[in-house]
Amino acid sequence: MKQDLVIIGFGMASHRLLQSLVAAGHNWNITVIGSEPDPAYNRILLSPVLAGEMTSEDLYLSPLDWYRRNGIRLHLGDGVATLERDNRVAVTEQGRRFPYDRVVFATGSRPARPGFEGDNRPGVVGLRNLADTHWLLEQTHTQRHAVVLGGGFLGLEAAEGLRRQGMQVSLVHRGHYLLNRQLDATAGQLLGQTLSKRGLDLYLENGITRVLGKDAIRQVALHDGTLLDADLVVVAAGITPNREVAEYAGLACERGILVDDQLLTSDPAIHALGECCQFGDRTYGLVEPVNQQADVLAGRLCGADTVYEDKAVATRLKISGINVYSCGELDSRHPGIESIVYHDRHSGEYRNLLLEDNRLVGAILYGDTSAGPWLFEHLQQGTDLEPWRAQLAFGEAYCEAA
């Protein structure tokens, strides 16, 4: 008799878990319950859809037939409201009951609420799912002014997408340069200059205090008193893990659902992975660690003895014509960290390579980012780069020649 595995949430983590389970020849009766009406899609590509570079049909991760062929039951558009741990049943909002032997929480996260006056009004939205993206695309036909809060990857991609759709976009960011978690000040300022030249209005070291307008949003007020015209506000200032169903069911939670290196929660019949989970003091916002967790969990659900450990990750911006790549440790002020910097002020090319004991611990590339994956490989391998120090900033070909 096969046992019942119920997966709550049908996003990128669930899809990767299903793929890995199928590849490993699992022996479970699998049901996936998703609150979105669509089967799993590539959430990362919502930004290119907003920018008009792709359509939502391009996003689905597997055709429906794949799930059918692999015996995976889908229950979509009706999320799990409660988990009855005593009876081992997941109960959906519409009252459907799904008995389980093992449960996986893969409920992802949602945009964090920024806490300004009026942040819950209609017209203040996040960019998290297909519904948000379609709504924003619709607004671009009739509305003129957008304000985006947050100068991280998501905020920049949302702002640039709306600008490309013809809106006048103001971007408000509390840091003193863009992408301040992924770049240093020089790269962040180069990026800011490029985006300003494209027509994005930047308001740095600033924030929103309130939205103004009686029936609809008309303006937003910033911390420094500036008033910006706004028909809508996109909030991209952090994410909050969707942990509530687990929390109400009595599982140990802090910011996310707490898991150990087997991706087990405080209940040995319940796992969690992806952006809803917290491992040590870390929560997640990028897909690479989520994929690694899915592979480890699939292994464990098939009897393997694998465990999850955090690894360095690399990130890149998805804005056409602007290349930004960063990985690893990004603070050169840490004692023992040296910095090799290449900066062509004319072309705007910039590279900052951070080394400790001649081993790469971080890299920031702006302009030509083609060396990124090669550098990341050496970072992961801990290669002694002493013989190539002089060529390192010029990439693989120069180092090989040396």
Ligand X SMILES: Cc1cc2nc3c(=O)[nH]c(=O)nc-3n(C[C@H](O)[C@H](O)[C@H](O)COP(=O)(O)OP(=O)(O)OC[C@H]3O[C@@H](n4cnc5c(N)ncnc54)[C@H](O)[C@@H]3O)c2cc1C
Per CB under 6 A, residues contacting ligand X are 8-14, 33-36, 43-44, 46-47, 79-80, 106-108, 127-128, 154, 242, 245, 274-275, 285-288, 290, 318
Q: Which is nearer to ligand X, 229 or 295 (CB)?
A: 295
Specify the 3-state DSSP secondary structure of 131.
Answer: helix
Nearer to ligand X, 153 or 388 (CB): 153
CB 273 within 8 A of CB 241: no
Cα–Cα distance between 336 and 188 in angstroms, integer? Answer: 24
Q: Which is nearer to ligand X, 291 or 388 (CB)?
A: 291
The residue (of 66 and 394) whose beta carbon lies closer to ligand X is 66
CB of 228 to ligand X, least distance (A): 23
The two beta strands, 257-259 and 277-279, are parallel
The residue sitting closest to ligand X, measured at its beta carbon, is 11
Q: What is the DSSP letter of 43?
A: G
Q: Cβ 279 to ligand X, closest distance in Å?
A: 13
Strand, coil or helix: 85: coil
DSSP E strand boundaries for 175-246? 201-203, 208-212, 219-222, 227-229, 232-235, 239-241
**Residue 114 or 285 having the CB closest to ligand X:** 285
- Judge whether 356 and 343 are in contact, CB under 8 Å: no
Rounded Cα distance, 402 and 390, in Å: 9
Q: Going by C-beta distance under 8 Å and a sequence separation of 6 or more, which residues neighbour residue 317?
A: 153, 156, 157, 179, 191, 323, 324
- What's the CA gap between 338 and 302, in Å, rounded? 44
Task: Specify the pairing of strand 3-8 against strand 109-111.
Answer: unpaired
In whole angstroms, how close is the CB of 182 to ligand X at the nearest point?
11
DSSP 145-161: EEEEE--SHHHHHHHHH
Give 213-221's long-range contacts (Cβ < 8 A, gap of 24+).
216/123, 217/118, 217/121, 217/123, 217/124, 220/147, 220/172
Specify the residue, 27 or 94, whose C-beta has the smaller distance to ligand X: 94
| Nearest distance from C-beta of residue 33 to ligand X, angstroms | 5
Closer residue to ligand X in complex, CB, 12/385: 12
User: CA-CA distance, 127 to 134, in Å (whole number)?
Assistant: 10
DSSP E strand boundaries for 213-255: 219-222, 227-229, 232-235, 239-241
Nearest distance from residue 297's CB to ligand X, in Å?
12
CA distance 317 to 83: 38
Nearer to ligand X, 376 or 388 (CB): 376
Kindly tell me which of 107 and 170 has the beta carbon lying closer to ligand X: 107
Task: Please say which residue, 85 or 223, places its beta carbon nearer to ligand X.
Answer: 85
Please, what is the minimum distance in Å from the beta carbon of residue 345 to ligand X? 29
